[in-house]
Amino acid sequence: MEYNKQKGEEQNMEFKHFSVMLQETIDNLNIKPDGIYVDGTCGGGGHSYEIAKKLKSGHLYCIDQDMDAIGASKDRLKDFSDRVTFIHSNYADMVKELKELGVDKVDGILLDLGVSSFQLDNPDRGFSYMREDDPLDMRMDQSGPVTAADILNNSSEQDLYEMIRNYGEDKFARQIARSILRRREEDPLKTTGDLNRAIEAAIPMKARRTGGNPCKRTYQAIRIKLNRELTVLSDNLDDMIDILNDDGRFCIITFHSLEDRIVKLDFKKNENPCTCPPEFPICVCGKVSKGKNVTRKPIIPTEEECEKNSRSKSAKLRVFERIIK
Three-class SS of 42-62: CCCCHHHHHHHHHCCCCEEEE
Report strand pairing: 291-293 vs 316-322. Answer: antiparallel
Q: What residues are paired with 322 via a beta bridge?
A: 291
Tell me, what's the pLDDT at 119? 86
- Nearest-angstrom CA–CA distance, 101 and 315: 32
The pLDDT tens digits along the chain (325 residues) read 233 333 344 444 444 447 899 999 999 999 999 999 999 999 989 999 999 999 999 999 999 999 989 999 999 999 999 999 999 999 999 999 999 999 999 999 999 997 887 788 889 999 999 999 999 999 999 999 999 999 999 999 999 999 999 999 999 999 999 999 999 999 999 999 999 999 999 998 887 777 678 999 999 999 999 999 999 999 999 999 999 999 999 999 999 999 999 999 999 999 999 989 988 888 888 899 999 999 999 999 999 999 988 889 999 999 999 999 7
Among 251, 198, 253, smallest CA distance to 222 is for 198
Beta strand 36-39 with 59-64 is: parallel
Q: List phi, psi (to 5°) of 154.
A: -120, -10
Give the per-residue pLDDT at 56.
Answer: 96
- In this structure, the dihedral spanned by the alpha carbons of residues 17, 193, 138 and 220, taken in order and rounded to 10 degrees, is 80
Ordered domains of the chain (ranges, CATH):
5-118+229-322 (3.40.50.150), 131-227 (1.10.150.170)
CA distance from start to end of the chain = 45
Cα 91 to its chain centre, rounded Å, is: 10
Q: CA-CA distances (angstroms) from residue 61 to 109, 157, 178?
A: 9, 42, 45
Q: Give dist(CA 138, CA 216) in Å, integer.
A: 14
